[in-house]
Amino acid sequence: MSGIGSGITGEMKEMTYAFPIEGGDFIKAGHASSNIKKILNQLSLDPAIIRRIAVAMYEAEVNVVAHAYRGSMKVFISPEKIRVRVEDEGPGIPDIEKAMQEGYSTASEKVREMGFGAGMGLSNIKKNTDKLDIRSTINKGTVVEMTTFTKPKEA
């Protein structure tokens, strides 16, 4: 997996936030997303758009907790879009297309009892972002990059 550039250049101001994510720590799962949501709440964004971003961030964060060893979440906030990059060290996803299907999950029974493992996380991410890019290398890790535009699209 090679790194990618910031993709955003020449913009007036972009704020960047980074949070570590610990694999296996289900109790803390959602912590990074909650913190980012608080930051977004302070900007004058449409609450519906904040909720969409919150759902996508949470699912990507929990996937690191549930399926990988460790990772990080970076959030790039600019006036027109919020870009979230969640990167992990982990087993990787062998078949991304299959993993995207609603209901597909490799979560253990124990994890399911806690309410994770409906197999809906990736499709929630898809539904709640405007751009989604998932790249994964077996036995190395996964990068989920998603973008949500801050202004509702004109009908």
Which range, of 17-25, 34-42, 77-85, 103-111, touches ligand ATP by CB under 6 A?
103-111
Subset of 101-130 contacting another protein (CB under 8 A): 114-118, 120-121, 123-124, 127
Q: Which is nearer to Mg ion, 69 or 78 (CB)?
A: 69
Let me know if 129 is exposed, middle or buried by CB neighbors in 10 A (0-12, 13-18, 19+): buried
The CB-of-57 to another protein minimum distance in angstroms stands at 8
Among 71, 90, 92, 121, binds Mg ion (CB under 5 A): 121
Degrees to nearest 5, angle at CA 27 with 98 and 142 = 35
**How far from chain centre, in Å, is Cα 132?**
10
First CA to last CA across the chain, in angstroms? 37
Nearer to ligand ATP, 45 or 107 (CB): 107
Q: Are 136 and 74 in contact (CB under 8 A)?
A: no
Angstrom distance (rounded) from CA 4 to CA 22: 23
Residue nearest to ligand ATP (CB): 121
Q: Smallest distance, Å, CB 120 to Mg ion?
A: 7
Residues near ligand ATP, by CB under 6 A: 59, 63-64, 66-68, 88, 90-93, 99, 104-107, 116-122, 142
